Chains A and B, each alone.
Chain A
Amino acid sequence: MISEELAFRDSAVHRIDPRVRLVFALLLCFATALSGSFAAPLLALGCATGLVALSCLPLFTVARRLVPVNIFMLFLWLVLPFTHFGEPAFKIMGLAASKQGIELAALVTIKANTIVLFMVALVSTMSVAALGHAAHRLYFPEKLVHLLLLTYRYVFVLESEYRQLVRAAKMRSFAPASNLHTYKTYSYLAGMLLVRAHSRARRVHQAMVCRGFSGVYHCLDSFAFRKADWVWVGILSLFFMAMIGVWIEGPY
């Protein structure tokens, strides 16, 4: 099931104004992604870990969020040391692993995990509704925000329709395997999902028009800056500045 299990909780991080979280998520993620040396990402990793700790999220869930990115990292660890030229560190079955390759793999792993931790602490701690409204207040394109909120609204509806279709297939003794019958069944399932989504879209559009929709979407959410938010702006700016400070040139 899709759920926003990290969003509806309470902690110091959850109480930060969503606009502050969104802006600093963007700044810190990009600063981490663009740095080419170890110093800045390591500092960022510390900052991200601190934020995750302050947000009081269940550690198991946070660890699970790190799995997909690290599967790809594992693949890079298996390939990069052997394809990057440099002085050999060790040999396995006649293949020399280079020191530079190992360093590059380590750097990429730190950066990737740091960015995911920033995402978990700063973005996944708000609902997508709050994210959309924050983006609207920050002058993101209005139609894009509207599209995001519409999609968010119907993702859960369509997911339950999908589960319903899967249950129906199971009732008819459908057992997935690697054969044409399975691919056909899943295709029809996806097709049915699209047909239902399409007819739902027609009804939703009619309902929107009935309520006077003319293309403008009104975000009624009002965010209020509290004193604590200014403190957070200060702390996070400090971190950001420190990262830029230790940023030593040298992209690969």
Chain B
Amino acid sequence: MHISEGILSPTVLAVGWAAAGAGIAIGIRKLDADSMARAGILSAAFFVASLIHVPMGFASVHLILNGLVGLLLGWAAFPAIFTALALQAVFFQFGGLTTLGVNTTLMALPAVVCHYAFKGAVRSQKPRLVIAGSFVCGFFAVGLAAIIFGAALAATGEAFFQAAVITVAAHVPVMVIEGLVTVFCIQFLLRVDPAMLSK
């Protein structure tokens, strides 16, 4: 999910950069010598995970997993997602330079919200709560990202309102898939390396 270059109005671009800058500043402050390697390598892992395309009917979508990034990294999700998006811009020209701020915000803000909202549910002892929490986490993270995406388009000009509505609606099936994938992924992590989620 990237907003392309050249569309957004100066105001929206500026708001995106301001929000991303604030998030990155907080995230960086929380990164110390001990957590640097973890953040860098997990950021690389999420970059690679976004190369995974899962089939959806006749089309296919790539995994986003920003909810999971939030659960694992907290505020460090901002610099980690910023880095991954910068690499995508350099390697493939997905997204770009001027929209990096907006794109970071729309992926990382839901990640941080998920961190605080679902951390407790995922670590709980009740299996059903874990499953429900992780589904909503994946579903909500992509949903909020799509809503920020749509809001950025709509705030640029009235002409984009319809395009914004279509974009948000198109993300509903992606939200369901992300929810399912997050459930399975967290079940896997809880069985293989539960310590990863407890930090």
Give the B-binding residues of A (Cβ under 8 A).
Answer: 2, 4, 25-26, 29-30, 32-34, 41, 65-66, 68-69, 72-73, 75-76, 79-80, 82-85, 100-101, 104, 107-116, 118-120, 123-124, 128, 131, 141, 143-144, 146-155, 157-159, 161-162, 176-178, 180, 182-184, 186-195, 197-202, 204-205, 208, 213-215, 251-252
Contacts and interface: CB of A to CB of B under 8 A. Distances in A.
Contacts, number: 258
B152 to A, nearest CB: 13
A183 B5 contact: no
Nearest to B93: A65
Contacts of B38: 198, 201-202, 205
Nearest to A115: B5
Interface of B is mostly: helix
B189 interface: yes
In the A-B complex, list the 9 residue pairs whose CB atoms are closest, starting with the nearest.
A150-B40, A111-B6, A187-B184, A215-B33, A191-B188, A112-B6, A197-B45, A84-B159, A115-B5
A2 B163 contact: no
A29 B98 contact: yes
B54 A176 contact: yes
B33 A188 contact: no
Contacts of A183: 54, 177, 180-181, 184
B161 to A, nearest CB: 7
Contact of A195 (B10, B34, B94, B196): B196
B54 A182 contact: yes
A69 B44 contact: no
A80 B162 CA distance: 8
Nearest to A76: B163
Nearest to A154: B44
A84 B163 CA distance: 11
Interface stretch (B82-90, B106-114, B116-124): B82-90
B159 to A, nearest CB: 4
